[in-house]
């Protein structure tokens, strides 16, 4: 009876392991640096601050080489300056859905390229002159990166994304004052786990 139970447990564990290997899911945790496009704002000369943060994303491999990645960043508060003078702040939460192509035949490094769409949600605008921002922005998302396998499940990950995102600055009377072209570049390093 004991041998039968041990065999059943081993069988379940083996089956679960195989299923996990074949599931195609990959989870990544990264330390990110978010650098905003440094060209100020058309009309106002505003520039949003850069941020460092941690983030997670999930990918699903449709086959050996093609995967879909979803990135969902928590809202970050960005200060805004003009000629070094503080003008207030706003919050931004970028999300991106990217289709990737992975080169998986190499042993030590597995690079990938990606392209897709991003949506950034804006909120909590607090400016010294009472201006407001758009609620959301849609744009393209471009990506380049590489996984460096440690074993069958774990790898070290380097990743860079460019999200095309901007928001209009409006007065209290809803008059258009300028456009804050953010277009953040997200540079990250972290670890990935393939289920």
User: Which pLDDT score is estimated for 6?
Assistant: 41
User: Domains along the chain?
Assistant: 24-194 (2.40.160.20)
Percent of the chain with pLDDT over 70: 88
Instruction: Give the E-state strand segments of the chain in sequence order.
Output: 25-35, 41-42, 47-48, 51-61, 66-72, 76-82, 85-102, 110-127, 132-133, 136-149, 154-163, 166-170, 176-181, 185-194
Q: Which of 85, 91, 94, 95 minimizes the C-alpha distance to 129?
A: 85
Average pLDDT, whole number, for the chain?
86
User: Which pLDDT score is estimated for 100?
Assistant: 98
pLDDT band, residue 129 (cuts 50/70/90): confident
- Sign of torsion over alpha carbons 42, 78, 133, 115: positive
Between CA 70 and CA 50 the distance in angstroms is 22
Report the predicted TM-score, pTM, of the whole model to 2 decimal places: 0.82
Which alpha helices (H) appear in the chain, and where do they start and end? 2-22
pLDDT tens-digit readout, 17-38: 433 445 799 999 999 999 998 7
User: Which pLDDT score is estimated for 38?
Assistant: 73
pLDDT tens-digit readout, 133-177: 888 999 999 999 999 999 989 999 999 999 999 988 888 777 888
């Amino acid at each position: 009876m004991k041998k039968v139970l041990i065999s059943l447990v081993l069988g379940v564990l083996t089956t679960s392991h195989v299923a996990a290997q074949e599931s195609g899911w990959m989870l990544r945790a990264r330390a990110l640096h978010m650098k905003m496009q440094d060209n100020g704002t058309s009309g106002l000369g505003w520039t949003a601050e850069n941020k460092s943060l941690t983030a997670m994303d999930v990918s699903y491999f449709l086959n050996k080489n093609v995967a879909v990645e979803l990135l969902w960043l928590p809202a970050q508060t960005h200060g805004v300056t003009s000629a070094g003078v503080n003008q207030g702040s706003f919050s931004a939460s970028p999300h991106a859905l990217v289709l990737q192509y992975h080169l998986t035949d190499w042993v030590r490094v597995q690079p990938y390229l990606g392209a897709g769409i991003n949506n950034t949600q804006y909120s909590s605008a607090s400016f010294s002159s009472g201006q407001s921002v758009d609620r959301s922005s849609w744009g393209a998302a471009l990506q380049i990166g590489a996984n460096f396998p440690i074993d069958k499940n774990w790898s070290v990950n380097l990743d860079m994304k460019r999200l095309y995102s901007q928001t209009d600055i409006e007065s209290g009377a809803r008059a258009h004052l300028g456009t804050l072209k953010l277009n953040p570049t997200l540079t990250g390093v972290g670890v990935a786990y393939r289920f």
